Amino acid sequence: MRVNTKIIGVSVDLRRLHMASDGDFNRKSFTTDHTGFGVPFAVNPKRTDVPRNAARPFRYMDRYLRVSQGEVFYATELLAALEGIERGPAGNTSLAAALKLARELPEDNVVVQETEYTGAGKHPTVRLTFAKDMGIEIRRGNPRGNLPGKKIIIPQTFADLSYEEYPLQDLKKKRIENAVQGSKTKLQDYEVQFLAEEVKADTAFVMKAQRETTHPQ
């Protein structure tokens, strides 16, 4: 049982790059090319290969953060240089956020970084070379200037690492919206209860989101 513990999800920011587009696929420049789409699968878990899967992140998450490709490439090189651990960038997405987050917490707090794909993907140098071949700008600077598919800006120093907070309430509403749109009829009481548990909210939150979906202002 977790006591005074927060679970924080992290995704790489690949906004505006559609995972079903061949053109966008080649402009993601990021490890195995399919990673970083945490948001679409979080708000519509039935899109996975196993529709009735147990991946229901909102039941557990307390916060959701986004980091840029440049910050993850920086964290990947940092880990290799300081610890001798070399792995694909996908495995360092949460590390990039954890490095910044740890500096904001009280000294006696402990950050446990968990990741999937610890060794997946190609070497970061290969990915950056591929990005250049695709006409993507690669440079050092403020990572907030990253523009997926157009610019990868790698931090100059450790202090440049940052993250963007993604409001969980917005994501939870989107999850309910997808459930409503995927249903041919009005949600039944048991479905409302299930969704309330899934997004860690009360049934009133689900009903309100359902009304806003079926009768938008």
Same domain, 117 and 193: no
CA distance 24 to 8: 28
Same domain, 36 and 121: yes
Contact by Cβ (8 Å): 11, 64: yes
pLDDT band at residue 192 using 50, 70 and 90 as cut-offs: very high
Same domain, 20 and 111: yes
Query: The whole model's pTM is what?
Result: 0.83
Same domain, 93 and 182: no
CA distance 10 to 115: 10
In a domain, 35, yes or no: yes
Same domain, 205 and 138: no
Most confident residue range from 2-6, 66-70, 87-91, 181-185:
66-70
Q: What is the pLDDT of residues 126-177, one digit of tens each?
A: 888 888 988 899 999 999 899 988 999 999 999 999 999 999 999 999 999 9
In a domain, 189, yes or no: yes
Domain final position from 165, 180, 197: 165
Instruction: Give me the pLDDT at residue 148, please.
Output: 87
Same domain, 158 and 88: yes
Strands 164-165 and 63-67: antiparallel
Same domain, 99 and 21: yes
Comparison of pLDDT for 53 and 13, the residue scoring more: 13
* Average pLDDT, integer, range 99-123: 80
In a domain, 2, yes or no: no
Q: Where are the beta strands (DSSP E) in the chain?
A: 8-12, 63-67, 137-141, 151-155, 164-165
In a domain, 1, yes or no: no
Tokens 């006696």, located at residue: 108
Same domain, 73 and 29: yes
Same domain, 100 and 179: no
Same domain, 129 and 185: no
Same domain, 89 and 110: yes
Split into its structural domains, the chain has a count of 2
Same domain, 130 and 200: no
Report the percent of the chain where pLDDT is more than 90: 41
pLDDT band at residue 119 using 50, 70 and 90 as cut-offs: low
Query: In terms of residue numbers, what domain contains 90?
Result: 8-165
